[in-house]
């Protein structure tokens, strides 16, 4: 058995006992009828198996989901072509320019035309002094499930901004990446300059990212260099970065604004299942595992609510806030982080972790966390299982920001049938 499973199971013993006790008399009865001591419940093969099969905390590099645009998709170009257009570490060039339409006042531009464009060697020079690493889940605003969980490494973008020596009239920075020299394929994003220059509320900085999970950023993930905005949805984290503009614009000019997206919305918290039985026998305990995305307000609890489809629901209670939710167990930090980290070790100094490589808080904000629960057996019938997060401010999903175009937070529901 994997060592991490031992730890998860040890934690689970406590969980099961607390869960059954929390059900009061009914729970004690359930324990007896199922002759399921809390300690035995972790030997329940279904739960043991489900926890053993959980995905690693960090996503293996080959398992990141790809939502790249472009025809052809830039990362599918030949190596020769990539070298020609600056998509390799040796050939990468970043132009840092005044916005031609609404220019900020800037002393230094970095341009290809006069051979001053910023290159990878210059980035590595900055990295010697300023490199940072932090965990972040990459999530598309428009896709329910995260694309991958990584440790992203880079140089704070402000270091580059200061090299340009802006003096006045700088309100926003916008940027785009290589897009086949085809204006219609350009994918642009932007940030208020204040967020780049200073990190509010202990957020990691906005970075020029060149490594993921301890390895050079691949072309698939936007290498050699992409922007990563810690608290934002994926569309702010532009891949194959090639151009950066210092602007006096006061509002967002993101490509994503065109799709009715709320482009100022930080990551939300939500829960989802990873495994559950689709059918179980009457009285057979139900093992469920899942993950939660810890958004800007993190996660204090994950809860589940299993409901017989024949039974009434409180009418008008569209977020099921009156329902008998029960707490699932948020699983502890894993023994192995996964994600193809060299030697399975977190890069030293990763933000959010102490010198011994242990997380300072758990869950970690802007990351994933896993959860599990063994529900007591139920009578025959068709059921709906729902899961939700409660954030650190006490908001239950999908609150406090329920609108779809500001990111996914709808309450997940899955079907489970109990039959002989």
Ligand X SMILES: Nc1nc2c(c(=O)[nH]1)N[C@H]1C(S)=C(S)[C@@H](COP(=O)(O)O)O[C@H]1N2
Q: Is the peptide bond before 72 cis (omega within 30 degrees of 0)?
A: yes
Binding residue (CB under 5 A) for Mo ion from 234, 266, 295, 363: 234
- The residue at minimum Cβ distance from ligand X is 234
For the packed helices 3-22 and 45-52, what is the interaxial angle rounded to 10 degrees?
Answer: 130
As measured in angstroms, the least distance from the Cβ of 86 to Mo ion is 23
Is 140 a binding residue for ligand X by CB under 6 A? The answer is: yes
CB burial of residue 332 (10 Å; 0-12, 13-18, 19+): middle
As measured in angstroms, the least distance from the Cβ of 72 to ligand X is 13
Binding residue (CB under 6 A) for ligand X from 57, 92, 120, 187: 187
As measured in angstroms, the least distance from the Cβ of 348 to ligand X is 24
Binding residue (CB under 6 A) for ligand X from 204, 205, 224, 234: 234
Window contacting ligand X (CB under 6 A); options: 160-168, 237-245, 296-304, 403-411: 237-245
Which H or E element spans position 307?
strand 301-308
* 67 phi, psi to nearest 5 deg: -125, 35
Cross-strand partners of 138: 148
Q: Is the peptide bond before 38 cis (omega within 30 degrees of 0)?
A: no
| List of residues 6+ apart from 104 with CB closer than 8 A | 98, 166, 168, 169, 170, 171, 246, 247, 248
For Mo ion, the closer of residues 112 and 405 by Cβ is 405
The tokens of 395 are what?
Answer: 């908001």
Cross-strand partners of 168: 105
Residue 32 touches which member of ligand X, Mo ion, none, C-beta under 5-8 Å by kind:
none
Residue 238 touches which member of Mo ion, ligand X, none, C-beta under 5-8 Å by kind:
ligand X
* Interacting residues with Mo ion between 114 and 143 (CB under 5 A): 140
Residue 210 touches which member of Mo ion, ligand X, none, C-beta under 5-8 Å by kind:
none
* Interacting residues with ligand X between 57 and 96 (CB under 6 A): 64-69
The tokens of 140 are what?
Answer: 């598309």
As measured in angstroms, the least distance from the Cβ of 363 to ligand X is 21
Residue corresponding to tokens 């009285």: 283
Residue numbers at the binding site for ligand X (CB under 6 A)? 64-69, 138, 140, 147, 177, 187, 221-222, 234-235, 237-240
Note the residues at the interface with Mo ion (CB under 5 A). Answer: 140, 234-235
């Amino acid at each position: 058995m994997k060592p991490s499973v031992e730890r998860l199971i040890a934690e689970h013993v406590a969980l099961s006992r607390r869960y059954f006790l929390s059900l009061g008399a009914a729970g004690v009865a359930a324990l007896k009828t199922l002759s399921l001591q809390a300690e035995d419940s972790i030997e329940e093969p279904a739960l043991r198996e489900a926890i053993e099969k959980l995905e690693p905390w960090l996503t293996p590099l080959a398992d990141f989901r790809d939502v790249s645009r472009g025809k052809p998709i830039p990362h599918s170009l030949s190596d020769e072509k990539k070298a020609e257009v600056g998509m390799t570490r040796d050939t990468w060039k970043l132009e840092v320019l005044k916005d031609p339409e609404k220019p900020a006042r800037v002393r230094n531009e970095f341009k290809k035309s006069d051979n001053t464009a910023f290159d990878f060697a210059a980035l590595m020079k900055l990295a010697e002094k300023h490199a940072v690493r932090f965990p972040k889940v990459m999530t598309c605003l428009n896709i329910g499930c995260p694309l991958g969980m990584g440790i992203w490494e880079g140089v704070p973008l402000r270091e580059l901004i200061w090299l340009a020596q802006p003096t006045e009239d700088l309100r926003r920075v916008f940027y785009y990446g290589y897009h086949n020299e085809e204006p219609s394929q350009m994918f642009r994003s932007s940030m208020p300059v204040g967020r780049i220059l200073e990190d509010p509320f202990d957020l990691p900085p906005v970075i020029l990212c060149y490594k993921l999970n301890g390895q050079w950023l691949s072309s698939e993930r936007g290498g050699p260099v992409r922007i990563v905005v810690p608290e934002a949805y994926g569309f702010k984290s532009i891949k194959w970065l090639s151009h950066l503009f210092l602007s006096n614009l006061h509002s967002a000019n993101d490509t994503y604004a065109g799709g009715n997206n709320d482009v100022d919305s930080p990551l939300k918290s939500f829960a989802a299942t990873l495994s559950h039985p689709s059918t179980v026998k009457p009285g057979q305990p139900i093992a469920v595992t899942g993950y939660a995305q810890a958004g800007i307000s993190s996660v204090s609890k994950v809860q589940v609510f299993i409901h017989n489809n024949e039974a009434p629901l409180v009418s008008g209670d569209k977020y099921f806030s009156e329902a008998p939710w029960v707490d699932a167990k948020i699983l502890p930090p894993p023994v192995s982080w996964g994600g193809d980290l060299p030697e399975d070790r977190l890069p030293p100094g990763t933000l959010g972790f102490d010198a011994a490589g242990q997380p300072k808080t758990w869950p970690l904000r802007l990351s994933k966390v896993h959860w599990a629960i063994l529900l007591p057996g139920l009578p025959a019938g068709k059921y709906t299982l729902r899961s939700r997060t409660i954030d650190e401010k006490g908001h239950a999903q999908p609150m406090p920001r329920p609108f779809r175009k500001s990111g996914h937070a709808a309450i997940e529901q899955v079907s489970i049938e109990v039959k002989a």
